[in-house]
A = this chain, B = another copy of it.
Amino acid sequence: MNKGSTTRENIIVKSAELFNTYGYHGCSLSDIMKATQLQKGGIYNHFKNKDEIAVEAFDYNYTKVFKRFREVLNEAKTPLEKLYKVVDAYASFAEDPVVKGGGCPIFNTAMDATNSHPELKRKARLGIDGLLTYIRIKLKDGIKEGVFKPSIDVDEVASLFIMTLEGALVMSRVSDSKKFVNTAAAFVKNYIKTNIVLE
């Protein structure tokens, strides 16, 4: 990696933390300058504007979320184990934040950008679609292998898991208590056992 790409990478990494912590509007170019110890020109050498940085920062955070999922899911073998591990991966966001600022960076961006930044909104929507797809695939695998009930509505169940776990992450962050994430994780795991797994 030459110096140019190292600097570029550094701007993305630091901005990704700032955007996840304070949101798009809560993070100014001077915040990025301070965090990267670069002058304005040093940043504009690599990016057209704050928008371009924000979009790349989102992609960077999105990749970190999926890396976390891969790590936690690594040892799981069966579709049932994998589904439980998806829940563990979510719960791990509260224990050990994927990105400084906490929570799920995809969901944080969804909240932050819905009314103010169409491109980030689009990316956050695609990000959530990615999470939904991830769970749908695990559910379909289980049905195919004959361990999950074929009658389950894969779309509905995947949506339910994400909204419960993401909603809980927000509640845990604002109340500085893992209680809500733990409740959500226990609920989803119990739901899997009771409503997903074939007797």
Interface residues of A (CB under 8 A from B): 21-26, 101-103, 107-108, 110-116, 121, 124-125, 128-129, 156, 159-160, 162-168, 170-171, 173-175, 179-180, 183-184, 187
Chain B nearest Cβ from A113, distance in angstroms: 8
- A26 near B166 with CB under 8 A, answer no
The main secondary structure of chain A at its interface with chain B is: helix
A163 with B167: CB separation less than 8 A: yes
Identical subunits present: 2
Contact status A156-B128, CB under 8 Å: no
Q: Would you call A174 and B110 a contact (CB within 8 A)? A: yes
* A167 shortest CB reach to chain B, Å: 3
Q: Of B22, B128, B187, which is within 8 A of A25 by CB? A: B22
